């Protein structure tokens, strides 16, 4: 693992994990949860400079991702990631925070709201899903014969920039594949029981289907919905979408209005 970290980067011992996190800005706490095979910067690098103007951002990197270590290669799960965030917030003496998760990070954010509801104030679920029917069937078929070559080069480069180990990169890829192979639906009733004020965001050409975002929005009793043109994370300037993303990110005003 590369010991070089950002100026505002820190480590915490969390449930047996040497977990990396960064704190940006001051104000109301906002936890940022990255997507699969990603880092803080690949997912949120275009949003942090704006959101830190009004919030104390706690951006995390999960097991096997970025700067964090890998618990000896044990399987990664959304539930464990959720518990790791809860433990980190407890160590930071943060009793309540807004939670913003993108892609797989959105599924983790849902698990935080389910498993640790008192920790959550507002909730943003971006380009995420809670059941297998939330994406086209072809999505799942790709995990039966995983190809490391389909992992975006931008993700590989970002990982290796902070952890220059090809072995660690391949292990992380395999762990992400295995998590999705074993993904099971969150029951509709569990989603409907989430009482937090929630913003569901999706692109009209996203990986999860817009119809699934609508379903999630309708099941959650205190949710709003925003659909933007473009693909997976283009509305927030996610790294792999920079060629097609708006500058500033199209969703930024909606996100700021929701949080503030």
Q: Please determine, for residue 3, whether its predicted confidence score (pLDDT) is greater than 60.
A: no
* Interval 21-67: pLDDT, tens: 999 999 999 999 999 999 999 999 999 999 999 999 999 999 999 99
* Interval 209-252: pLDDT, tens: 999 999 999 999 999 999 999 999 999 999 999 887 667 899 99
Q: Is residue 1 part of a domain?
A: no
Token pair 């659909």 is at which residue? 227
Any residues with CB less than 8 A from the CB of 257 and at least 6 apart, and which? none
- Band (pLDDT 50/70/90 cuts) for residue 7 is confident
DSSP for the chain? ------TTEEEEEETTEEEEEEEESSSEEEEEE--TT--HHHHHTTTHHHHTTTEEEEEEE-TTSTTS--GGGPPP-HHHHHHHHHHHHHHTT---EEEEEETHHHHHHHHHHHH-GGGEEEEEEES--SSGGGS-HHHHHTTTS--GGGS-HHHHHHHHHHS--HHHHHHHHHHHHHHHHT--PPPHHHHHT--S-EEEEEETT-SS-HHHHHHHHHHSTTEEEEEESSSTTGGGT-GGGTTT--SS-TTHHHHHHHH-
* Interval 67-118: pLDDT, tens: 999 998 899 999 999 999 999 999 999 999 999 999 999 999 999 999 999 9
pLDDT at residue 6 in the model: 80
The pairing of beta strand 17-24 with beta strand 9-14: antiparallel
Q: Is residue 3 part of a domain?
A: no
What is the CA 182 to chain-centroid distance, rounded? 18
Q: For all residues of the chain together, what is the average pLDDT? A: 95
pLDDT at residue 252 in the model: 97
pLDDT at residue 245 in the model: 66
Quote the radius of gyration of the chain (alpha carbons, Å): 17
Q: Is residue 79 part of a domain?
A: yes
Q: Please determine, for residue 1, whether its predicted confidence score (pLDDT) is greater than 80.
A: no
Measured distance CA(53)–CA(220) in Å, rounded: 29
The number of folded domains in the chain is: 1
Q: Please determine, for residue 142, whether its predicted confidence score (pLDDT) is greater than 90.
A: no
Q: Is residue 4 part of a domain?
A: no
Domain coverage including residue 226: 9-259
pLDDT at residue 242 in the model: 83
The pairing of beta strand 55-61 with beta strand 17-24: antiparallel
Give the CATH number for residue 124: 3.40.50.1820
Q: Distance between terminal CA atoms of the chain?
A: 37
């Amino acid at each position: 693992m590369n010991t070089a970290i950002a100026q505002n980067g820190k480590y915490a011992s969390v449930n047996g994990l040497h977990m990396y996190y960064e704190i940006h800005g001051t104000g109301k706490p906002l936890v940022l949860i990255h997507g699969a095979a990603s880092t803080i910067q690949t997912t949120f690098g275009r949003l942090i400079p704006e959101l830190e103007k009004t919030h104390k951002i706690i951006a995390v990197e999960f097991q096997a991702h970025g700067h964090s270590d890998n618990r000896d290669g044990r399987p990664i799960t959304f539930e464990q990631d959720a518990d790791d965030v809860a433990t980190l917030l407890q160590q930071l003496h943060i009793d309540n925070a807004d939670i913003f998760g993108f892609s797989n990070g959105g599924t983790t954010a849902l698990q935080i709201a389910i498993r640790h509801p008192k920790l959550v104030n507002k909730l943003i679920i971006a380009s995420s899903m809670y059941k297998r029917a939330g994406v086209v069937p072809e999505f799942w078929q790709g995990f039966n014969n995983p190809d490391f070559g389909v992992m975006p080069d931008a993700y590989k480069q970002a990982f290796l920039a902070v952890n220059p180990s090809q072995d660690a990169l391949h292990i992380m890829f395999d762990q992400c594949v295995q998590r999705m192979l074993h993904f099971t639906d969150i029951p509709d009733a569990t989603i409907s029981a989430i009482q937090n004020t929630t913003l569901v965001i999706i692109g009209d050409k996203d990986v999860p289907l817009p119809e699934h975002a609508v379903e999630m929005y309708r099941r959650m009793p205190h949710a709003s919905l925003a659909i933007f043109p473009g693909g997976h994370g283009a509305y927030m300037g996610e790294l792999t979408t920079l060629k097609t993303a708006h500058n500033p990110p199209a969703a930024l005003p909606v996100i700021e209005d929701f949080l503030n």
